[in-house]
Structure 1
Amino acid sequence: MLNSDIQALADRIVHHHSATFGARLHHDANSVELVPQPTPPAQRSEAAYLAALHACSQLGFIAVDAECLAQAWQRQTERTQQFDVTHWPDDPQDFGLAGADPAQAFPACPRQLGLYGVLPTAEWVGRMARAGVPTVQLRFKSDDQAAIQREVQAAVKAVQGTGARLFINDHWQAAIDAGAYGIHVGQEDLDALEGAQLNAIRASGLRLGVSTHGYAEMVRAHAVQPSYIALGAVFPTTLKRMATAPQGTARLQAYVRLMQQYPLVAIGGISAEQFPEILATGVGSIAVVRALVNAPDPDAAAQHLSAFIPVS
């Protein structure tokens, strides 16, 4: 149980930030429902930490993210020598994101990756690259290694002469062998990579993108210093089962403030109508799947959506 003083601090955090981060329930197709979570066991005893741990749980952050935020709020309090209930933590040093070794960073990619098409086959990759999509990803699901090699090689060939940057989802060795622009991995795939494998990807010169779904995963991604970080799922998506709830635009904006040292890609259930509010958060790219592959005219959709987003 929290004592009355710590509870009062927690209540102040919730009161000040509930309009931004608190639980909300809408009834439209892109609703984001965030509900209070159980407060995880405390790892520290300081008042700011305990108050933030409880408050962030009440605001709907899952245990690992509430813990990450509470640690950051305590560091912020120590650094500034005051507990500021109004200042949601957003300084990289308070999350342990400062002081990384530049020599261990993956090769850079543009901060503005533009429209980012996540596509199921090499044929789709080539079609969207020719339609002007500046960044494409092959997300080809198969357990047949020969089929994977063929599809990755076909995707690399399909973008030649288009100027499109091609990332390969998961299949890092095939991507290296075929000479793709980069590789994209999710958190589970990142955790499965051993040090020697990460070093092999880094040494190949390919860029590395990493998916994240909250504060703890962003900190985990930063540990390998990828070329870009994907933030999501912003809105509900039926394309894959998500372990975390949709994040919504308020959280997305907070993530962008914290991770602005990286090129950032917003992903997850984003439709054309939502592009302006997503771009207003400061991300340099929006990834889409259904908005392209399910469009009545995918080529026209590619051109229309690409026009929203600047490219560098």
Structure 2
Amino acid sequence: MTEQHIPGMVAAIIAAHASTFAPEGNRLPAQPTPVATSQDPVYLAALQACSALGFIAIDAQCLAQAWQNQSQRTGLFDAAHWPDAPQDFGLAGADPQLAFPQCPRALGLYGVLPSAEWVGRMARAGVPTVQLRFKSDDQNAIRNEVAAAVQAVQGTKALLFINDHWQAAIDAGAYGIHVGQEDLDALQGAQLNAIHASGLRLGVSTHGYAEMVRAHAVQPSYIALGAVFPTTLKKMETAPQGVARLQAYVRLMQQYPLVAIGGIAAEQFPAILATGVGSVAVVRALVNAPEPEAAAHHLLACMR
């Protein structure tokens, strides 16, 4: 391929994938084409096409590099084959000795909850995976709440992850820790080593291709993918990803247990589960429900 082929390749990629990446009939807005890091014609074409399909700069760059790698590996440019091979994203060849401990492939219904009381309620209702997302600047309050959450799941089968507060989670003996992408970036090497040495599982939030590659670098126990749908619970830097992107992410990251998260309601479970994720995380569907235990039972049935 040469520079003269670039416009045709751009058009071919867009034609092949525009309908796929139009979640619920609305394609995400086209993005400016970012700075190229390669002058390979396939890279340049994919960079333009992925930007036109609404992928933000870091994800368009990541996809463009993967498309270049795919073309070099196979010996041909295939506009119809959206990159989904781990080796084309640099995801192959990880050291198992450095990986965080494994957790179940299917974490099932995953309740993200604001307090230890909520954690206990949902664990007793049969929710198999629960996360304490407790927001406070008071370190004593954090330690007490995390310890209370660990106590609250005793006698149940629920697996408890603690959002952000990794030292308190280690001290209290939680099952695992969950961190966002910003929190992962902020962790120093010694802190990450301490979490690894504790034996606790590690889950990481991601919002696109570049963040999935970043998460893979630490080989977490599971990867969360989202936000799939609009959510009012937190200000998101990225637009809702939609089911089509979720499906593409699952094809790429299937070496990990995967959790779909973000604005997911019961009626959307069939489409989400059809992508192959082993877990669906919910917040409002439980904590805003008139009868949370009944809502949990309904969502558990939807998982089955």
TM-score computed with the length of structure 2 as normaliser: 0.98
Query: What is the SS of the residue equivalent to 2:286?
Result: helix
Checking the alignment, whether the CA contact within 8 Å between 2:27 and 2:53 is kept in structure 1 is: no
* 1:33 Cα offset (Å): 5.4
* Residue matched to 1:303: 297
- Whole-angstrom CA distance in 1 between matches of 2:271 and 2:44: 33
* Residue matched to 2:124: 130
Q: What does residue range 103-142 of structure 1 map to in structure 2 within 5 Å?
A: 103-142=97-136
Checking the alignment, whether the CA contact within 8 Å between 1:33 and 1:246 is kept in structure 2 is: no
Query: What is the SS of the residue equivalent to 1:76?
Result: helix
Query: What is the SS of the residue equivalent to 1:108?
Result: coil
Q: What does residue range 1-312 of structure 1 map to in structure 2 within 5 Å?
A: 4-22=4-22, 34-309=28-303
Letter of the 1:233 counterpart? A
Letter of the 2:35 counterpart? P
| Percent of residue pairs identical | 77
* 1:5 Cα offset (Å): 2.1
Change (3 A) 1:25 1:160: closer
Letter of the 2:230 counterpart? P
- Whole-angstrom CA distance in 2 between matches of 1:49 and 1:142: 45
* 1:307 Cα offset (Å): 2.0
* 1:3 Cα offset (Å): 5.4
Runs (5+) with no aligned partner, structure 2:
none
Number of residue pairs the alignment of both structures matches: 303
Letter of the 2:219 counterpart? Q
- Whole-angstrom CA distance in 2 between matches of 1:263 and 1:3: 40
- Whole-angstrom CA distance in 1 between matches of 2:283 and 2:246: 19
* Residue matched to 1:29: none
Checking the alignment, whether the CA contact within 8 Å between 1:42 and 1:50 is kept in structure 2 is: yes
- Whole-angstrom CA distance in 2 between matches of 1:225 and 1:309: 27
* 1:25 Cα offset (Å): 7.3
TM-score computed with the length of structure 1 as normaliser: 0.95
Q: How large is the RMSD of aligned CA atoms in angstroms?
A: 1.2
Runs (5+) with no aligned partner, structure 1:
27-31
